[in-house]
Amino acid sequence: MADKPDAKALRALLRRYLAINEQRLKRTYEFLKPDQQAFLDLLPLLFHTNHPELPGYVDEETPAGLAEYQPSNAALAAAKALSRGFSYQRRAHRSFPIQSLFAMGSAGTVAYSEKSDFDMWLCHAPDLPPEALEKLQAKCTAIEQWGDSLGLEVHFFLMNAERFRGGEQVALSSESSGTAQYHFLLDEFYRTGLLLGGRFPVWWLVPPEEEGEYDVYVQRLYDEEIFHPNEVIDFGGLGHIPASEFYGASVWQVYKGIGSPYKSVLKILLMEAYTSEFPTIELLSVRFKRVVRDGESDPALLDPYLMLMTKLKEYLEGQGDGERLDLARRCFYFKVDAELSRARPRPHEVWRFEQLSGLTVAWGWDRAWLYTLDSRPTWKVERVLEERKALFGALTQSYQALSDFARRQAGAMMIDPKDLDLLGRKLYSAFKRKAGKIELINPGISADLAEERLTFFHQRGEHQAWFLYRDDASDAAKRKRQGPIKHAANLVELIAWCHFNGVLERRTQLFAYANRGGVDLKQIQEVVTHLQRLFPGGEIPEPSMEDFARPERIERSAAVVNAGIDSGGSMTPSGLQGAQGGDIFNHGPTGENLVRSVDLLMINSWHEILTHHFAGPAAALDAVAEYLRVVRPLENRELPPIDIRCFSFFQGTGISQKMQRLFSLAVPRMQALGEGERLRLVARIGRSYHLLEADRDGAVVSRPGAIEPLLGTLAAPSERRAVTLFDGSVGRDTPLPVIFGQHKTGAIQLFYNGAAGQAEVYVVDEQGSLFHQVQPYHDAQTLLIQFHRFFSAVLPRRDAALNGDPLEHSTARVEYYQLRRDKKWDVRRVGIDESRQAQRYFNVQVIGESGDDGAARYTIYCDHEEFSSFEHGNRLFTEIARYVLERRRGGERYPIYITDIDISRLLHRGGRGPLQTIQFLNYKARIEERLNSALQGL
């Protein structure tokens, strides 16, 4: 512990700090317009009193009263200018809900410019109730809006010094670092904070060598009554920065660097410099304190940003890292925003220009390089990409060094896991490369990337791609000489990259060429115009932290069909040049699919722009499947409509409408899926059946081809109930759309169409699986009764397996329909003839089990006569057929029907899920086929 604090020396030190504070305030005022100066004058007064005619007024209950504050004449004059009825009445406050008001950042430093913003710390009493804080926040928001109307960007942060000192911070937001960098934030505050009103930081009075015993020293100031706690505000000391904080702080700076890389590079390099001194770090705030205590009055030596550059120079030169040192100097130069090659400083800026000019001379920058830097607002793609690479390379390098340091030193990370998760999602959305993701290349580097003339070049052949060149690049030698600005696998991705990066604007003149054949320039221009209409200026709202707290979701989406395909030639089917109408998937006499490719463009809530290209026969369904995959985290909200366009001159409107109907069919039904349900969408494309299957876990497209493989696919058992839809391309040659159009949740429905001694039977079971069978047909009731007897026996057993209760009757609803076809398929509900049902029928019951070798073993009862695989082996079905034939009068060979079947032991071996009606039906058909084959062989 140092000698006893000297009250007189400490009061002199306080006056020195306040003089430095006043000097920085004066320099800040010099940059402001008169109404902005009035804003700064009024701020403390606005929180000291509530007056309905002054900006930010909420109500009389809003906390007011700023400790240690007496309005200046300038503040009272500004208030009078806004409200003639304002009269300041000094009153005695028993307590002060507002303790201090600070401006934190570059104000009054060499780095301050007219573009700088203000981060305000409004420090309130620790005992304010939540409702009071809500009103105080409302007041801050209103004052922020007032500042915005004056051309000032102001952000208020409500600070509780007591909680802050204990390590608690405000919630993570785009402006607040949450728990990511407590000590580093405090370090920055102490060296850059400007006191606008209220209590001064007690930290000013603690000697640098006492930082390790900060609390003890402060308590001595109180105990010896050198200062009273009501005179000061205490955010805590900086005696030690835990190694574990470096990781959270580095993540935060990389996050901030996404939108403001120049500022973040300086801060993250500073943290890296700090690690090189660990554990005895000389913080810049402590260096600043030491200089002040030494009596230094030179503004250049007291400027926190010049001190920062000195620190970085010492560190990076020591590392031999000239490349990052030069980048740090560029970052600082752009932060200062002085443009030394062009501007003539106004009187109040002379000191800044002199400081900066001296630095750039020392750095070896000539006028040509200064001109290059000052022309940054007009840098084009190549220079921007080069700078972006340097910026994010530096951020990444520092982040890696800091995270390695934190893990090596501490193991645990001093950051709330929730904050880390939010920051991680933001970094993922910004830096994670994905196929088709549009990379935004201009994080505030250039103000204008737009080109006057651009060429789109289509490389056809084995390695097909699209290339973007500057100017009219019709000549191959010219293209080779200048090289492409960008290339992509498909046209829409390339156009989207141009649009969202501002490379292509309405004034840009376009050209298009290909190595073989022509390119439809008009179609390219229409796609460009379409994106400009959908996303004006290529601007996307910045996501909030609330957005990152939820899974990403689609905010905007569009699709372009057949982009880049030569609509004047290959898109016109042979012989159909004059044809109109018809099905787009099966157009004309050859059944041609006119949808050759689909490009999806989607923007999600995490600020990601994603493109997906699909080509080939299933392009349409593939696009729908991808869309469903992306929207599968279903929410109780209506999805924004997807804008679908086709700019081909042949059938362009019809293709757009067809695709719109396809999405409108699938997407709402997908959103309406209940728990345990899945979606199936059938389309007939180019004379082949295609099937899209989707659930909450994803979506996949298959190509059954002909009708029989499709029926086989639809017959598959599933633990999830299938909702089956049919696109209009599935024509009248199959009754499937009508059958599934009747489907009811949980019901079992049988449909039949019988004629000429043969019946085609379809059964949609409780899970939406489809059973299909063609069998001999005598009359409708004979057919229906044998199925009805089967269901009556099997369904109670199935329900007992599901519920563990041996029910005598099933609760399942079975419905019967007759299929009829005139010009189109329709259905008619039919019932069971009770008198026919009462007649005696030959009962055939099958019990299936699995043997030790895994093969199926059957015991079959014909009425009460038992036949088993164990007894008859491979002749089982022949013996049963002979027995049945002998029992029939006249030896008729009409089909044998199974009336009951138990296959639970056969199917449950291996732990499968609950049995499904389709499984009983499939075994019924399979065994009936073997029995009837044996019957016909006798």
Q: What is the pLDDT of residue 90?
A: 78
DSSP of 249-261? HHHHHHHHHTT-H
Could you tell me if 567 and 523 are in contact, meaning their C-beta atoms sit under 8 angstroms apart? yes
Q: What is the predicted pLDDT for the residue at 895?
A: 83
Q: Determine the pLDDT at residue 802.
A: 60
The pLDDT assigned to 850 comes to 77
pLDDT at 407 over 70: yes
Pick from 347-351, 513-517, 709-713: least confident: 347-351
Q: Per-residue pLDDT averaged across 915-938, rounded?
A: 89
Look at 271-275, 286-290, 576-580, 678-682 and tell me which has the smallest mean pLDDT.
576-580
pLDDT over 70 at 913, yes or no: no
Length in residues, the chain = 938
Q: Which of 190, 193, 118, 188 minimizes the C-alpha distance to 151? A: 118
Q: CA-based angle 433:255:554, to the nearest 5?
A: 55
CA–CA distance, 327 with 324 (Å, rounded to integer): 5
Q: What pLDDT is attached to residue 635?
A: 55
pLDDT digit string, tens, across residues 196-210: 999 999 999 999 999
Are 191 and 304 in contact by the 8 Å Cβ rule? The answer is yes
User: Mean pLDDT for the chain?
Assistant: 87
Distance between terminal CA atoms of the chain? 113
Q: In whole angstroms, give the CA distance from residue 52 to residue 79.
A: 12
User: What was the pLDDT predicted at 413?
Assistant: 58
Model pLDDT, residue 139: 97
Give pLDDT, residue 579: 35
Instruction: State the pLDDT at residue 837.
Output: 64
Is residue 770 exposed (0-12), middle (13-18) or buried (19+ Cβ within 10 Å)? buried
Q: Which of 84-93, 322-331, 666-675, 730-739 has the lowest mean pLDDT?
A: 84-93
Among 515-524, 527-536, 567-576, which range has the highest average pLDDT?
527-536
Q: Residue 178: its pLDDT value, please?
A: 46
- Please compute the mean of the pLDDT values over residues 826-835 and round it to a whole number: 88
CA distance 916 to 902: 12
Confidence of residue 580 (pLDDT cuts 50, 70, 90): very low
Pick 115 or 558 by higher pLDDT: 558
For 605, phi and psi rounded to 5 degrees?
-75, -10
Instruction: Return the closest-CA partner of residue 181 out of 443, 431, 401, 402.
Output: 402
What is the C-alpha separation between 103 and 122, in angstroms, rounded? Answer: 9
Task: Quote the CA–CA distance of 494 and 468 in Å, as a whole number.
Answer: 8
Q: Which residues contact 871 (CB under 8 A, 6 or more apart)?
A: none
**Pair type for strands 554-561 and 643-646:** parallel
**What are 620's two structure tokens?**
């349409």
Beta bridge partners of 102: 121, 195
* 569: phi then psi, degrees, rounded to nearest 5: -130, -80
Percent of the chain scoring above 70 in pLDDT:
90
Between CA 76 and CA 45 the distance in angstroms is 8
Residue 548 above 80 pLDDT? no
Which pLDDT band holds residue 404 (cuts at 50, 70, 90)? Answer: confident
Mean pLDDT score, 116-138: 95
Q: Is the pLDDT reported for residue 863 higher than 90?
A: no
pLDDT of residue 552: 81
Band the pLDDT of 636: cuts 50, 70, 90.
low
Residue-wise pLDDT for 230-284, tens only, equals 999 999 999 888 887 887 777 778 777 888 899 889 999 999 999 999 889 999 9
Q: Rounded CA gap, 100 and 874, in Å? A: 96
Short-list 71, 230, 47, 74, CA closest to 142: 47
Could you give the CA distance from residue 617 to residue 592 in angstroms, rounded to a whole number?
10
Sign of the dihedral through C-alpha 421, 423, 426, 432? negative
What angle is formed at CA 709 by the lines to CA 703 and CA 714, rounded to 5 degrees?
90
d(CA 251, CA 381): 28
CA–CA gap between residue 225 and residue 330 (Å, rounded):
49
Q: Look at residue 517 in the predicted model and tell me its pLDDT.
A: 83
Asked if the model's pLDDT at residue 849 lies above 60, the reply is yes
For residue 809, is pLDDT > 60?
no
Give the residue among 442, 464, 472, 492 at the shortest CA–CA distance from 261. Answer: 442
The two structure tokens encoding residue 492: 């829409």
pLDDT at 840: 62
Task: Output 640 or 776, whichever has higher pLDDT.
Answer: 776
Sign of CA dihedral 135, 136, 140, 143: positive
CB 619 within 8 A of CB 598: yes
Closest among 462, 458, 529 to 498, alpha carbons compared: 529
Q: Is the pLDDT of residue 22 over 90?
A: yes
In order, the DSSP letters of 566-609 are: -TTTTTS-TT-TT---SBTTBBTTTTB----EEEEEEEETTS-E
What pLDDT, on the 0 to 100 scale, is given for residue 545? 72
What are the CA-CA distances from residue 368 to residues 341, 372, 375, 381, 390 (Å)?
8, 6, 11, 20, 20
Confidence class of residue 420 from pLDDT cuts 50, 70 and 90? low
Please tell me the distance from the alpha carbon of residue 434 to that of residue 494, in angstroms, as a whole number.
15
DSSP string, 540-562: -PPPPHHHHTS---EEEEEEEES
Pairing of strands 814-821, 748-755: parallel
pLDDT of residue 160: 92
Strands of the sheet with 825-830, listed across from one edge: 770-776, 758-764, 748-755, 814-821, 825-830
Q: Provide the angle, in degrees to the nearest 10, between the axes of the packed helices 652-671 and 619-630.
A: 40
* pLDDT confidence band for 851 (50 / 70 / 90): confident
Mean pLDDT for the stretch of residues 109-113: 91
Query: What's the rounded Cα separation, in Å, for the pair 57 and 46?
Result: 8
Q: Which of 16-20, 336-340, 371-375, 448-452 has the lowest mean pLDDT?
A: 336-340
Q: What is the pLDDT at residue 467?
A: 96
pTM of the full structure: 0.84
Burial tier of 361 (Cβ tally within 10 Å: 0-12, 13-18, 19+): exposed
Tell the burial category of 30 from Cβ atoms under 10 Å away from its Cβ (0-12, 13-18, 19+). middle
| Per-range mean pLDDT, top range of 572-581, 700-709, 848-857 | 700-709
Burial of 35 (0-12, 13-18, 19+ CB in 10 A): middle
Residue 873 predicted with pLDDT over 90: no
Mean pLDDT lowest for which of 459-473, 483-497, 548-562?
Answer: 548-562
Q: Mean of the pLDDT values across residues 164-182?
A: 58
Task: Please tell me the distance from the alpha carbon of residue 425 to that of residue 406, in angstroms, as a whole number.
Answer: 21
- For range 479-504, the mean pLDDT: 94
